[in-house]
Structure formats: structure tokens, C-alpha cells
Structure 1
Amino acid sequence: MKTKILMAALLSGLVMTAGAVQAQQERERPDFETLDLNGDGALTMEEMQARGEARFAEQDANGDGALSADELSARAADRATAMIERFDENGDGLLQLDEMPTREERRAARMFDRVDADDDGTISAEEFEQAQERMGERRDGRRGDGHKGRG
């Protein structure tokens, strides 16, 4: 019985860490100017690939061209620490179940952040309308040639 509880706890921790990793990756998305390495106002496939190579190099602490378990663990530990700092409502340095946002709450927060274009913590009628227009354009694009969007 204790083994099952321990395994459930470990699995739960892995799932939560995966959520933290995803959230952290979303926050680390570079802006256009960062990706546009030559500053010409357009992104090439080479510039996009260069970003991926740079991120790999940042993680490759010893510069051997490969990521070891230790290098990956260090990154996971940094992300876990950031997750605790972000969600630890009572300030005890630990995450209790009630401090963990649900998947739906995380999704809703991401959607809110995308619509709140001026980052003022509220959605104006104009921001709401712009979001609806973007969603309509995406929906119409998927219907148009059958190759856009998912699938």
C-alpha cells in the first residue's frame, strides 16, 4: 500500500513538473526582434533554427555537444523552483494541492493573457473584439484550403 501511495505521489510530481515546464517554455518565448538576428524585419528558417541551437547550447553546461542527465536535471530543478515561487500562495516554500492551478485554470489564464493585449489585467471591449476577429480569421483559414490549423 505504501508503495502505491509513493508511486502515485511521484507520478503526480512528474505531471506537475511537466506543467511547470510547459508554462516556463511559454514565458521564455522570444520576441520578434530577438529572433530576427540580422534585423531585416523578416524571419528565416535559419534564424528560427539558430534560436533552437542557442537554447541547446545554454543547457549544455560543459560544451560537449550533448545533454547529460545532470544538465537536464539542473534545468528541471530551475523550473521546479520557479513553479514553487509562482504558485506558493502561503509562502512556505512548498506546493500544496490547493495551490496548484488546474489544467482548466492554466488554460483560461493563458487565453486571458493573450486577449489582454496591453497587459493591464483587464480585457477592454476593443481587445475582446480583436480576439474574436483573430479567432474568426483562424477558423476561416482552416476552412479555406484544408491545410491550415491542426491535422
Structure 2
Amino acid sequence: MKRTYLLVGLIAAGIALSPATYAQEAGGKRGHDVSFSDLDTDGDGALTLEELQARGQARFAEADTDGDGSLSRDELIAAGRKASEERADKTLERLDADKDGAISAEEMQAAGGERRAKGAERMFERIDADDDGSISEAEFEAAKDKMKGKKRKGKGKRKGHNSEESDG
């Protein structure tokens, strides 16, 4: 169980610090943290395309600390680090029941660890194609390939994206 939490934590930390994450979450508020009123800048009760575009431009400008109109590697890293720190603070606030500045295994478990463990078990069972209780390298690679295919399909369905070009 500790390995699962450690693995999930390491993956989350890697994602949180990646430049791609900042490109999606710049400005500190993730998509689900943004309120309607944050976006409705003129307060008329309706969102326009211009208001949504203005939000993206403001997030970019905030990250562009030298004001040169582009985001350097250092700016992306700094912005990603800021977003990661904000997420860590929110996570501590939400899960640190005894307010000691750390999340214990018990606090993690109380916050839904059992549900996550069952999800991990279901994922393991899906990957373990031959049901032998272990995942071979072939099963692991097949699962990775399947996930890559799902991601490409999702990108291909979005307006203006071509799944073959998204392979990178």
C-alpha cells in the first residue's frame, strides 16, 4: 500500500512540475477551480469568447515574467513550481486532519484511500490479461500502447487537432 502512495505521489510531482502542466494550468487556478464570475469579467451574467480568450492571455502574461512575449524554459519551470506549491498547500489544507503540516498514511486512508486502492486493483486486473496475479512486460507494454491510443483518439476529436500530428 505504501508503494502505491509513493508511486502516485512521484507521478503527481512529475506531472505537476512539467511545463505541459503549466501550459494548461497557468495562473494558479485549474479549470475546475475557476468560478463563473472569474471568467465573466464584465459581470453581465454571460461568457463571451473574448472573455475566455482574455483569461488565457492574462495567464500567459503572468508567466511571461520578462515580458518578451514568449515563455522560456525557466519561466515555464517557475510557473509550474508555483502551481505545484499551490496544489500542495490545498492538498495539505484538505487532508491534514491534525494540522501538523504533514499527511500521514492514516489521513490519506481516511481521505479515500480505500476507494483509490480498489481503483488500483481494478487497473491491475485489467492490465493482468492472463489473470496470473502478476504483470509481465508484454502486458505492461500492451496497456501503455492502449492508453496512448486512447489519448490520441481524444485529441483527434477536438476541433483543430489531428491525432497523427499529435504523436510528437
* TM-score (structure 2 length as normaliser): 0.42
